[in-house]
Structure 1
Amino acid sequence: MPTYPTTAASIGGLVPASSDLLINLAYLNQEATGLSHYGLQLVPHLIRILHPVLLSPCRWPGATTLQIPNNMTAIQGLQGHLRRLIWTQTQLGQIYHQIGSRLLFSPVPEAPLGQSIRKVITVHDLIPLRFPSRSFSTLYFRSHLPRLLKESTHIFCNSQATAQDLQSFYQVPEQRLTITPLACDRQQFRPLRLDRRNYFVYVGRLNPYKNLQRLIKAFALIQRQLDCELWLVGPVDRRFLPAVQAQIEAQGLTEVVRFKNYVPRKELPIILNQAIALVHPSLWEGFGLTVLEAMSCGTPVLVADRSSLPEVVGDAGLYFDPLQPEAIAESMQAIAQDSGLQQRLSAAALARSQQFSWERTSRITIQQLQALL
């Protein structure tokens, strides 16, 4: 795994390097986000086989790394994003040509426009288009991404759902798309033989499309009968927190809904292992990594019946219509009151999770990149 410097690095004195493949990791940061997880897990496999040059704010053992400023990530908010996009358009192309690369791979949908650069990008989801807002992300997906997709030699995506969205929203030909599913760290997310405790858990953000309003309404329908808690694990975004809190108060659930902001990664498997089930009511996902992590722990999963979630869960979970709180509540009640169902879904979830691995994903990625080099 890479290490992060404590101060911003400079690429002013560019180290002589040469590689057919240049990988742009300017977006990486130390937060445990899905995008960071994808890069951190995939890139070590690419280093071993393809020997690329990396553009990264952190140092990678065993790889030629050109360190770039570490103030261009989501940690710095919108300013970080803007710095990175300006750097991508004004500096990245020069580096690509200077080291004689033949292909640029970016694990996020960011790359220089024009400049005679052959590029491969990964698109993780089109949520800013499915749920548009007056945000920078929606503006980027509407104004910048269309041209980037047209210029890209090939495009990776995490699910068939995202591939279909790319075809629907942008008319990207199917032959230019390759599906590379995510995976989780099985050493970390595994059964721990801990006793179940009396709570359901949701892991993720508070954005409106995550559908927590209906989850809370559903929980209110069964809480008194089951005498359980609901744990909301993930970053507490102040933009969306008031609406979620208002729903909790309106349903009289203040004492039984717990917020757990940015739980350390080493503690998350414990929380998942001890939950009755993970409930994921999201209206749309590009993949659903937190669901897979729960499955890898042997935790039963209750998920929305749309987007990429059926691709991840298969027959190993309970599905519900996320627009119907009663349907969500029914699945929660079913799993809580049937120990046999808990055991069957626990075993099925664990078995299903074994079908996803970074070895498989990296093999698909490497084969496609090699074909383009």
Structure 2
Amino acid sequence: RRFDPLTPYHRYYIPQVLRQAQHVICDSESTAKDIANFCKIPTNLITPIFPGYDTSFFRFLDLPTSNYFLYIGRHNPYKNVQRVVAAFAALPDNSEYELWIAGSEDKRYTPLLKAQVQELGLVDRIKFLDYLPAADLPKVINRAIALVFPSLWEGFGLPVLEAMACGTPVITSNLSSMPEVAGGAALLVNPYSVEEIASAMHQLAVDAKVRSHLRELGLARAKQFSWEKTGLETAAILDRYI
């Protein structure tokens, strides 16, 4: 397993800072539980407040759906991209689809993913987009069959929210913070099961009614998040100490 230089920072420095804080604001109930469990912070000193998103940027564009599944994020092992690749390989008739992997390449992990793709004989079906300019993201998200984001852990999972705001169906994990963000508006899978991920991808590839249903659920769910709401809830906490 490759060493992450940020590991000592998160393991030793962050807990010390948290223990000195008067109050801790975090981005999900799942993160709040992690802070309480691993850093031994009393739960009454932790308040989860969901982030928002740019509503003028991430929105439904009513574009035709293309033939690709989309992953957005880093290539670190906890992001579970290897199982996404394996699930795509397990799809019936995967020659009819593509998998687009968006996110900055990492010399520690991307070569392993590309080697996996090579071994599976899917070089022409799985595309590594590297970093995507922000201006390109809404169209790329809007046209995808689905966002596939079965991460093993997330503090929040912003791509899930951004995809729902674009009306794009979401496949995500049934653990960590992702169920909180999805709120019943996504297909939840066991992220350790390639079979479950592949089954969810196949369902969305062949069933337009399910895609349409998830689109409506996702758009409605995304409306419950806003930076204004985040700011007001944060200000209410700060008022206690100022």
TM over 0.5: yes
Contact preservation (8 Å) 2:60, 2:166: yes
Supply the AA of the counterpart residue of 1:235.
Answer: S
Question: What is the aligned counterpart of 1:260 among 112, 121, 129?
Answer: 129
CA deviation map 1:248-286 (0-9, x unaligned) = 111111001011111111110000000000000111100
Instruction: Give the aligned partner of residue 340 of structure 1.
Output: 209
d(CA) in 2 for partners of 1:281 and 1:226?
22
Q: Where does structure 2 lack aligned partners over 5 or more consecutive residues?
A: none
The alignment's C-alpha RMSD in Å is 1.3
Q: In the alignment, which of 90, 103, 118 is matched to residue 234 of structure 1?
A: 103
Q: Within 2, Cα distance between the matches of 1:186 and 1:218?
A: 32
Tell me the percent identity: 43
Letter in 2 for 1:196: T
Give distance in 1, aligned partners of 2:105 and 2:198.
24
Post-superposition offset of 1:349: 0.4
After TM superposition, the score normalised by the length of structure 1 is 0.63
**How do 1:23-172 and structure 2 match up within 5 A?**
134-172=3-41
Partner AA of 1:285 in structure 2 = E
Per the alignment, residue 283 of structure 1 pairs with 152
Cα offset for 1:212? 0.9
Counterpart of 1:371 in 2: which secondary structure? coil
Q: What does residue 188 of structure 1 align with?
A: 57
Secondary structure at 2:101 match in 1: strand
1:294 paired to 2:149: no
Q: Deviations over 1:149-188 (max 9, x none)?
A: 1111111100000000011101110111111111110100
SS in 2 for 1:344: helix
Residues 195-206 of structure 1 correspond to what in structure 2 (within 5 A)? 195-206=64-75
Of the candidates 225, 229, 241, which is equivalent to residue 360 of structure 1?
A: 229
Kept in 2, the 8 Å contact 1:226–1:336? The answer is no
1:320 aligns with 2:189: yes
* Cα drift, residue 135 of structure 1: 3.0
Q: What is the aligned partner in structure 1 of residue 47 from structure 2?
A: 178
Secondary structure in structure 2 of the residue aligned to 1:258: strand
3-state SS of the aligned residue for 2:6?
Answer: helix
CA distance, structure 2, for counterparts of residue 142 and residue 288 of structure 1: 21
Q: 1:133 Cα shift? A: 6.4
Instruction: Give the distance between the partners of 1:349 and 1:160, measured in 2 at CA.
Output: 20
Q: CA deviation at 1:142?
A: 2.4
Given candidates 120, 128, 131, the residue that maps to 1:251 is 120
Corresponding position of 1:43: none
Separation (CA, whole Å) in 2 of partners of 1:228 and 1:299: 16
Gaps of 5+ in 1: 1-131
In structure 2, C-alpha distance between the alignment counterparts of 1:135 and 1:342, rounded to whole Å: 38
- Alpha-carbon offset, residue 225 of structure 1: 4.7
Match of 1:111 in 2: none
Distance 2:230 2:88 in 1: 36
Deviations 1:326-353 (A, max 9, x none): 1100000001111110100001000000
Deviates more, 1:136-145 or 1:198-207: 136-145
From the CA coordinates, give the structure whose radius of gyration is larger: 1
Alignment length, in residue pairs? 242
Tell me the secondary structure at the aligned position of residue 127 of structure 2.
strand
Distance in 1, Cα, partners of 2:111 & 2:36: 36
